[in-house]
Chains A and B, each alone.
Chain A
Amino acid sequence: MSVLAVKSLSKSFGGVHAVNQVSFTVARGEFLALIGPNGAGKSTCFNMINGQLAPDSGEILFEDKNIAGLAPRDIWRLGVGRTFQVAATFGSMTVVENVQMALISHGRETYGLWRPAASLHRERAIDLLAQVGMREAADRPSRELAYGDVKRIELAIALANEPRLLLMDEPTAGMAPRERNDLIKLVKQLVVERGISVLFTEHSMDVVFAYADRIIVLARGRLIADGDAAAIRENPQVQEVYFGTGKTFAHAQGAAP
Chain B
Amino acid sequence: MTLSAFLFQALNGLASASGLFFIAVGLSLIFGVTRIINIAHGSLYMLGTYIAYSFATRIGGGLGFWGGIVATALIVCVLGALIEILLLRRIYRAPELFQLLATFALVLVINDATLWLWGSEDLLGPRAPGLRGAVEIFGRQLPSYDLFLIVIGPAVLLVLHFALAKTRFGRLVRAATQDREMVGALGVNQAILFTSVFALGAALAGLGGALQVAREPATLATDLIAIGDAFVVVVVGGMGSITGAYLAAVIIAEVKALCIAIGVVDFGFITVNFSKLTLVAEFLVMAGVLIARPYGLLGRPQGAVRSVAEAEDPIRPAAPGLKALAVAVLALLMGLPLLAQASPYLLVLGIDVLIAVIFATSLHFIMGPGGMHSFGHAAYFGLGAYGAALMVKWLAVPMGLGLVAAPLIALAGALLFGWFAVRLSGVYLAMLTLAFAQIVWAAMFQWEGFTGGSNGVIGVWPPPPFNSAAVYYLLTLAIAVIAVLLLRRFLFAPFGYAMRAGRDSPLRAEAIGIDVKRVHWLAFAIAGGICGIAGGLFAFAKGSISPETIHVGRSIDGLVMVLLGGIQTLTGPIVGASVFATLQDTVMRQTEYWRALLGLIILLLVLAFPQGIVGAVAQIFGRRRSP
Given a CB threshold of 8 Å, the question of whether A touches B is answered with yes
Contacts of A111 in B (CB 8 A): 494-495, 498, 519, 522
Give complex CA distance A97, B313 in Å.
Answer: 12
Given contacts A73-B514, A112-B495, A113-B495, contact A92 B314 (CB under 8 A): yes
Q: Does B122 contact A (CB under 8 A)?
A: no
Contacts of A89 in B (CB 8 A): 504-505, 508
Contacts of A58 in B (CB 8 A): none
Given contacts A110-B495, A114-B489, contact A73 B510 (CB under 8 A): yes
Binds B, one of A14-22, A115-123, A126-134, A225-233: A115-123
Contacts of A104 in B (CB 8 A): 494, 497-498
B residues 456-508 near A (Cβ < 8 Å) are 489-490, 492-498, 500-501, 503-505, 507-508
Q: By the criterion CB–CB under 8 Å, are A76 and B497 in contact?
A: no
Q: Does A102 contact B (CB under 8 A)?
A: yes
Q: Does B317 contact A (CB under 8 A)?
A: yes
Given contacts A90-B501, A110-B494, contact A71 B510 (CB under 8 A): yes
Q: By the criterion CB–CB under 8 Å, are A118 and B511 in contact?
A: no
Q: By the criterion CB–CB under 8 Å, are B494 and A93 in contact?
A: no
Question: How would residues 26 to 69 of chain A score, 1 for a CB under 8 Å from any chain B CB and 0 otherwise?
Answer: 00000000000000000000000010100000000000000000
Question: How would residues 66 to 106 of chain A score, 1 for a CB under 8 Å from any chain B CB and 0 otherwise?
Answer: 00000111001100001010001111111001001110111
Contacts of A115 in B (CB 8 A): 493-494
Give complex CA distance A86, B496 in Å.
Answer: 25
Question: How would residues 513 to 530 of chain B score, 1 for a CB under 8 Å from any chain A CB and 0 otherwise?
Answer: 111000100100000000
Q: Does B186 contact A (CB under 8 A)?
A: no
Q: By the criterion CB–CB under 8 Å, are A116 and B512 in contact?
A: no
Give complex CA distance A84, B312 in Å.
Answer: 22
- Identify 7 residue pairs between A and B in the complex whose beta-carbon atoms are under 8 Å apart, listed by A's number: A52-B507, A73-B512, A92-B500, A93-B504, A110-B519, A115-B494, A157-B512
Q: By the criterion CB–CB under 8 Å, are A50 and B511 in contact?
A: yes
Contacts of A141 in B (CB 8 A): 313-314
Give the residue of A88, A94, A106, A112 whose beta carbon is less than 8 angstroms from that of B493.
Answer: A112
Give complex CA distance A19, B508 in Å.
Answer: 24
A residues 118-156 near B (Cβ < 8 Å) are 118, 120, 141, 143
Give complex CA distance A115, B496 in Å.
Answer: 11
Give complex CA distance A97, B497 in Å.
Answer: 9
Given contacts A91-B504, A93-B500, A141-B314, contact A73 B494 (CB under 8 A): no
Q: By the criterion CB–CB under 8 Å, are B508 and A113 in contact?
A: no
Contacts of A82 in B (CB 8 A): 511
Q: Does B395 contact A (CB under 8 A)?
A: no
Given contacts A118-B492, A161-B512, contact A93 B501 (CB under 8 A): yes
CB distance from B569 to the nearest CB of A (A): 12
Interface residues of chain B: helix, strand, loop or mixed (majority)? helix
Q: By the criterion CB–CB under 8 Å, are B497 and A101 in contact?
A: yes
Q: By the criterion CB–CB under 8 Å, are B495 and A97 in contact?
A: no
Given contacts A90-B500, A93-B504, A110-B519, contact A160 B314 (CB under 8 A): no
Give complex CA distance A100, B514 in Å.
Answer: 13
Q: By the criterion CB–CB under 8 Å, are B511 and A101 in contact?
A: no
Give complex CA distance A143, B311 in Å.
Answer: 8
Q: By the criterion CB–CB under 8 Å, are B311 and A76 in contact?
A: no
Q: Does B315 contact A (CB under 8 A)?
A: yes
Give complex CA distance A149, B192 in Å.
Answer: 37
Give complex CA distance A161, B514 in Å.
Answer: 13
Contacts of A50 in B (CB 8 A): 511
Give complex CA distance A112, B499 in Å.
Answer: 12
Q: Does A109 contact B (CB under 8 A)?
A: yes
Interface size band for A = 35 or more
Q: By the criterion CB–CB under 8 Å, are B493 and A117 in contact?
A: yes
Q: By the criterion CB–CB under 8 Å, are B314 and A73 in contact?
A: no
Question: How would residues 521 to 550 of chain B score, 1 for a CB under 8 Å from any chain A CB and 0 otherwise?
Answer: 010000000000000000000000000000
CB distance from B367 to the nearest CB of A (A): 14
Give complex CA distance A88, B500 in Å.
Answer: 14
Give complex CA distance A188, B431 in Å.
Answer: 48
- Which residue of A has the minimal Cβ distance to B311? A91
- Which residue of B has the minimal Cβ distance to A87? B508
Give complex CA distance A87, B152 in Å.
Answer: 50
CB distance from A139 to the nearest CB of B (A): 9
Give complex CA distance A141, B624 in Å.
Answer: 12
Contacts of A93 in B (CB 8 A): 314, 497, 500-501, 504
Q: By the criterion CB–CB under 8 Å, are B314 and A106 in contact?
A: no
CB distance from B17 to the nearest CB of A (A): 34
CB distance from B528 to the nearest CB of A (A): 16
Give the most central of B314, B494, B508, B519: most A CB within 10 Å: B494
Give complex CA distance A109, B498 in Å.
Answer: 10
Q: By the criterion CB–CB under 8 Å, are A77 and B513 in contact?
A: yes
Contacts of A120 in B (CB 8 A): 494
Contacts of A105 in B (CB 8 A): 498, 512-514
Give complex CA distance A161, B512 in Å.
Answer: 8
Given contacts A111-B495, A112-B495, contact A73 B513 (CB under 8 A): yes
Give complex CA distance A100, B493 in Å.
Answer: 12
CB distance from B477 to the nearest CB of A (A): 23
Contacts of B313 in A (CB 8 A): 92, 141
Give complex CA distance A102, B509 in Å.
Answer: 8
Give complex CA distance A92, B496 in Å.
Answer: 12
Q: By the criterion CB–CB under 8 Å, are A94 and B497 in contact?
A: no
B residues 414-466 near A (Cβ < 8 Å) are none
Give complex CA distance A84, B192 in Å.
Answer: 36
Contacts of B515 in A (CB 8 A): 73, 110
Give complex CA distance A69, B495 in Å.
Answer: 27
CB distance from B64 to the nearest CB of A (A): 56
CB distance from B624 to the nearest CB of A (A): 10
List 19 additional contacts besides A89-B508, A116-B492, A117-B492; criterion CB under 8 Å. A72-B511, A73-B512, A76-B513, A88-B504, A88-B505, A90-B505, A90-B508, A92-B311, A92-B315, A92-B500, A93-B504, A94-B314, A105-B513, A105-B514, A106-B512, A106-B513, A111-B522, A141-B314, A161-B512
Q: By the criterion CB–CB under 8 Å, are B498 and A110 in contact?
A: yes
Contacts of B314 in A (CB 8 A): 92-94, 97, 141
> What are the nearest 4 A-B pairs in CB distance?
A91-B311, A90-B504, A112-B494, A105-B513
Q: By the criterion CB–CB under 8 Å, are A110 and B311 in contact?
A: no
Contacts of B514 in A (CB 8 A): 73, 101, 105, 110
Give the most central of A84, A89, A90: most B CB within 10 Å: A90
Give complex CA distance A208, B407 in Å.
Answer: 58
CB distance from A27 to the nearest CB of B (A): 24
Give complex CA distance A229, B522 in Å.
Answer: 50
Give complex CA distance A193, B268 in Å.
Answer: 78
Contacts of A84 in B (CB 8 A): 507-508, 511
